[in-house]
Amino acid sequence: MQSNRPTTLERAFALAGTGQFATKGEIAKAMTREGYSIDELRQLHGNSLSRQLKALCRESREHVLEAA
């Protein structure tokens, strides 16, 4: 059965792009509340991915602050 729910990585990057999160940990907590499992969240481990998510969080937060 197919799900319309985004993959773990798609959702993590989408949340990072909202400007509402500062860290990968905050994103993971939000995804847990949305029903993503611990096994799914393990996909978010890794230095390169962490750097990408952190950079996107920072850029998005700066953009949100500039727009305010």
pTM of the model: 0.89
pLDDT, one tens digit per residue, over 38-65 is: 999 999 999 999 999 999 999 999 988 8
Banded pLDDT at 2 (limits 50, 70, 90): low
The CA-based dihedral angle spanning residues 39, 40, 43, 44, taken in that order and rounded to the nearest 10 degrees? -110
Tokens 């860290």 found at: 23
CA–CA separation, 62 and 45 (whole Å): 24
pLDDT in tens, 4-22: 999 999 999 999 999 999 9
Q: Report how far apart, in Å, the C-alpha atoms of 54 and of each of 1, 3, 15, 46 are.
A: 33, 28, 11, 12
